[in-house]
Amino acid sequence: MIMIEPVPPFLIYLIGALLIPFLKGKTKKLCLLIIPIVAFIDLLHMHHGTYWTLHFMGYELIFGHVDKLSMIFAYVFVIMSFAGLLYALHVDDDLQHVAAVCYAGSSLGVVFAGDLFTLYAFWEFMAMASVFVIWADRSKRAIDAGFRYLMVHLFGGAVLLAGIVIYAMQTGSIAFGRLEGGGLGFWLILIGFILNAAVPPLHPWLPDAYPAASVTGAVFLTAYTTKTAVYTLLRAFPGVEILAYLGAIMTVYGVVWAIMENDMRRLLAYHIVSQVGYMVAGVGIGTELSMNGSASHAFCHILYKALLFMGAGAVIHSTGLRKMSDLTGRGLYKKMPFSLIFYMVGAFSISAVPLFNGFICKPMIVKAAEEAHRIPLFFLMHMASIGTWLCVGLKLPYYTWFGKAQPGVKEIEAKEPPLNMLLGMAFLSFLCIFMGIYPDILYRILSYPVYFHPYAPLHVIGTLQMLLMTVAGVWLLLERLEPQAVINLDTDWFYRKGAILFVKFCYGLSAVRTATQNLAIGLVDGVIKLSKNPIYAVQSLLSQKESGMPPYDPNTYRQAMGIGVIFSLILFCFICFIFFARLTQLIR
């Protein structure tokens, strides 16, 4: 039997990214699909332990720390890269493909990093790759959003690096595991992680940047940045109390802003904030059930959220429209029925409808909050679940594919997207349904034993009641939910306006500096001018007559020194006389 020695998965993606620009046609498409397949086979041959170590400056850098937690994220990252590349197979743009492959590979580097410095290196590599995924759309909106995204993540990276250095100095260790101590380094690392997790108020980069990317690029963005942050929180900060409350607030915050949104992908982006909130809350609760819930929810969320963005992207690809107010009443359900079906699979999944994968994971976290007697968290997450079904499962599909025709609005010319896009959606739809029906396939790879039974009768009945009552509420308030062509302000307003004020302040400082510099130059020039002919300069100042200063002539301006010398000698003798007279009196 031939044994295959595993290699670092990120290396497979890096080599693949280097090959892509040199390949053409079907060979390039085949290479794009082979990269994740080879990486998945590589994962199947990995055993728990530590691999690929490097000694550097007295530290041990670990590129392969393999355990159950790292493997569950690695599996879904590779599966997602296959689905995303299949969905993007029709795109003839090397920049998009290379950036996406590097993005996926760097996220695997984060997952298997066994020390903080290796983690940081891949963390920053991931930020750079993801910004090129955004810029690959090449629109002004994408370029602007990409720069804002880059500035936020460079700031987060700087905070993370500062935390790592301080933590290493305080503890003498750079091992990436459960962090202890609670010092400055501890909190800076936590801030660096939660910024990537899009925890409010540090979240606006997500709904700003993700909808600005290309149809295919946005699919990759949904999968990696926030989920690697969830992985790092699970690894380093389980049971940190503040995360439980921040996560619960996230669940409701994202839903509230999503309800007000008109842009399809901005609505879905806000629901990333909401859904990641469940995972962050699970980390903060810190029990085995909640930690299993966070990991499994991250796994399932990557699949169904990518599917939702694929469905919305199919509409944008076929119509060129992204706002529900522009699509409603145009009869899109007749033209793109398969896209609607696949989208609804994702909508049922994110809403935790029975027989779909969201039903087997998200309720774990809610149940963990109940068992831990965190009643406020329990109610906040239940409220968010209602809002999720309302927005993603009812509002968005109704106003995008159906809706009442407005006066003067005609049916739009549209058709289903290319076959590869449909196949990508079909692949993820199959996984969402398969895992929802057979949850044990996911439960077996979780870090802790699972004693949660999603299909307990009371749980199923309670979920169906919530879903049906939400449908009734939406039916009664349908006109109130109609999307409006408005701009919704978020907390990014503060740093956008603050940045303008900061730039103006910097211009003011620059003006003060320039004025001070000119004053100093004038003062130095005056001193130089005075030193060239000080006597004439004083005479000119006293006479208040300005004329060209003649060069200094010692024969003209030098004064006789005899009188001054005589006066000094007389004064010196007088002082000596007084001194000796006083000394004589003291002696007597």
pLDDT in tens, 420-444: 999 999 999 999 999 999 999 999 9
Contacts of 395 (CB under 8 A, 6+ apart): 259, 267, 324, 474, 481, 483
Question: CB–CB of 554/535 below 8 Å?
Answer: no
Q: How many angstroms separate the CA atoms of 38 and 34, rounded?
A: 6
The two three-digit tokens of residue 536, written as one number: 């004439």
In tens, the pLDDT along 521-577 reads: 988 887 777 776 666 666 666 666 655 566 656 665 555 556 667 777 788 888 888
* pLDDT confidence of residue 2: 47
- What amino acid is encoded at 207 in this protein? P
- What amino acid is encoded at 320 in this protein? G
* pLDDT confidence of residue 556: 58
**Sequential pLDDT tens for the chain (588 residues):** 344 567 899 999 999 999 999 999 899 999 999 999 999 999 999 989 888 888 877 788 889 899 999 999 999 999 999 999 999 999 999 999 999 999 999 999 999 999 999 999 999 999 999 999 999 999 999 999 999 999 999 999 999 999 999 999 988 889 999 998 778 999 999 999 999 999 988 889 999 999 999 999 999 999 999 999 999 999 999 999 999 999 999 999 999 999 888 999 999 999 999 999 999 999 999 999 999 999 999 999 999 999 999 999 999 999 989 999 888 888 899 899 999 999 999 999 999 999 999 999 999 999 999 999 999 999 999 899 998 998 999 899 999 998 777 776 777 788 899 999 999 999 999 999 999 999 999 999 999 999 899 999 988 998 898 888 888 877 777 777 777 777 777 777 777 777 788 888 888 998 999 999 999 998 888 777 777 666 666 666 666 665 556 665 666 555 555 666 777 778 888 888 887 777 777 776
Q: How many angstroms separate the CA atoms of 170 and 184, rounded?
A: 9
Within 10 angstroms of residue 124's Cβ, the number of other Cβ atoms is: 18
Q: How many angstroms separate the CA atoms of 59 and 104, rounded?
A: 27
Question: CB–CB of 179/171 below 8 Å?
Answer: no
- Alpha carbon 556 to chain centroid, angstroms: 77
Q: How many angstroms separate the CA atoms of 146 and 453, rounded?
A: 43
In tens, the pLDDT along 27-67 reads: 999 999 999 999 999 999 998 988 888 887 778 888 989 99
The two three-digit tokens of residue 310, written as one number: 């694929």
Q: What 3-state DSSP class applies to 50?
A: strand
* pLDDT confidence of residue 423: 96
In tens, the pLDDT along 440-457 reads: 999 999 999 998 999 999
* pLDDT confidence of residue 54: 84
